[in-house]
Chain A
């Protein structure tokens, strides 16, 4: 069993929480005694942080819409198709027709990359996230 200190995702407090990993599964969550915010405790959401990670409904394969239905596909096909469509619509709308929603649940690094992608590659500032919701 390995305890990995990470940051809780369930609100803006930013508690430190140990995820317990065993054989590739996350099997528990516990508090950190010395963390400056959580100071040894967690709320009910933090104590059950591990429960959703291995839920059977997790998406594990890329999906693509074929004949109106979402069906599993390969990463290459999903990425190729997405890139092709984004390029087409970007060019057809003179860089105005694509909107991007970033995420307040993803990391800083990912938010940075997505806004860079939007601005540098899609050539638009149409990027936002649900800061106000």
Chain B
């Protein structure tokens, strides 16, 4: 998010999902799209059916990679040297869009100077991909009229996540593949309303619609609307809160519908923090690993029991409608928050979620024309939608970038903070699988989904399996410098020798015990994708 915000001025997907099927070249990086975003994978494969070229950058041979014209199976954490090499080739081959760079961007010469210093053979060696394949990919991407880049957490969950994103943005701007339909840079958001939670200002530094809390004008606007003085200092990030430790500054927490006890890195540290809070309140639909540590647990209504809106990855704000009344004694989170606010002497007087949305539309310019009555009458609206006559926005940065001019940020390789060594010889990659969602709070309770997949498997290459004398289905112990867990072996050609892969959905096998607690300093995104482990028979 921080990556695209600094280069383009907005961290959201520039295109719409349906535009992807019209692209001529699709470059997918760090996204297991068929499993994590089935609808988007469908567009990609439809495009391939119609003759589009597909480039997949992934250390694993994912299902999508099977359909790829070029699969760049890089060493994990070497995205920057790969992308820089591609850009150098584009430069050498004179496939640069000079007019676009001149009219719409700034700071290009700094990038160009850096690229001229790049040694292509050295870069290819770092990534572990043959130079000829990189050549082919670069030409393919740059020569097409409409090339689209899709990326996901395989790009951002690295110590250099922000710079990875900036590199992708550089590549797109250098070839003029932004600001038009069917071409752009698209971060695929993993959770159903992660885009909306960001838009709503559930972030430590911005009000709704990304208006900085440190800016006096914005603060005064919200102070006038909310009739209260507001703090100007940016707050703590999630990792600063959940890793604040036994004697950290955070003494109490209110957690709504999140499960940091399974989703955050170095769970032992999270547990230490949460256990030592003076007060912890959790609102959730199930007694999650986090809720079990709480002093008070509120039973929340599920999505099927309330009215509201979600914002999907293409910035489409859509209605959520109740099919039933809250079960048992459950209440919606909006009701719980309002009741707490009232007890703390601040009235939140809303008749309905529609009235809350009216307030959002007043204060968040990108949601300016999004009232429930409008959203009810259509299939949702894509922000920015400035007023009630605005039809919403299919793709971003038309005519000019949100920040004015697109900003090139030259980036250089930064190796992952922990690489395999003698003691911990395997590289552990983590991700999602098709049948489950996030911490499994909901999907693990679904009988069919849980039947289809009810244990975390450790993907391991045949070569390594032979060496360890392990067969399919055998239990393996995976140890890192931070912890150990047991997983079932699945021999797979998807991973290369020396790498293993598993998922974080399962409370029985909390993989985040093992992950390293380093994070990207610019975006605070944990380095989930790479750490060193030892794999043994228990």
Q: Give A residues with C-beta under 8 Å from B.
A: 2, 4-16, 19-21, 24-26, 34-38, 41, 43-45, 48, 50-55, 57-65, 70, 75, 78-83, 85-87, 89, 92-93, 95-121, 123-133
Contacts and interface: CB of A to CB of B under 8 A. Distances in A.
A100 B286 CA distance: 19
Nearest to A65: B295
Interface in B426-472: 434-438, 442-443, 445-449, 452
B322 interface: yes
A10 B318 CA distance: 14
Dominant SS among interface residues on chain A: mixed
Given A37-B312, A62-B296, A129-B197, A8 B192 contact: yes
Most buried by B among A50, A117, A123: A117
Nearest to B348: A113
User: What 3 A-B pairs have minimum CB-CB distances, sorted nearest first?
Assistant: A60-B328, A14-B312, A107-B308
Contacts of A95: 231
Contacts of A50: 304
A99 B251 CA distance: 8
B114 interface: no
Interface string B170-199: 000000000000000000111111111111
B99 interface: no
Given A9-B303, A109-B357, A117-B341, A128 B286 contact: no
A80 B338 CA distance: 13
Interface string B205-249: 101100001000000001000101111011111100100100001
Contacts of B229: 123
A113 to B, nearest CB: 5
Contacts of A114: 202, 254, 256, 333, 337
Interface in B365-400: 379-380
Given A93-B249, A103-B197, A117-B340, 11 more contacts: A14-B318, A45-B436, A45-B449, A48-B448, A58-B327, A82-B281, A102-B197, A107-B308, A109-B353, A110-B337, A113-B356
A128 B333 contact: no
Nearest to B328: A60
Given A12-B194, A21-B323, A57 B39 contact: no
Interface string B333-368: 110111111011110100001001101100000000
13 contacts: A5-B319, A11-B38, A12-B37, A12-B188, A14-B192, A25-B324, A26-B304, A36-B316, A43-B38, A106-B333, A107-B334, A111-B197, A119-B207
A117 B321 contact: no
B274 to A, nearest CB: 10
A85 B299 CA distance: 19
Most buried by A among B1, B226, B234, B278: B278
Nearest to B199: A108
B416 interface: no
Nearest to A55: B445
Contacts of A125: 204-205, 213, 231, 233-235
B103 to A, nearest CB: 32
Most buried by B among A55, A86, A103, A124: A103
A20 to B, nearest CB: 8
B257 A103 contact: yes
B300 interface: yes
A105 B526 CA distance: 20
B283 to A, nearest CB: 9
Contacts of A110: 256, 308, 332-334, 337
Given A59-B285, A62-B298, A86 B340 contact: yes
Interface stretch (B123-131, B133-141, B258-266, B401-409): B258-266
Given A25-B324, A45-B443, A109-B353, A99 B316 contact: no
A8 B339 CA distance: 28
B419 interface: no
A126 B437 contact: no
B485 interface: no
B304 A19 contact: yes
Nearest to B251: A97
B444 to A, nearest CB: 8
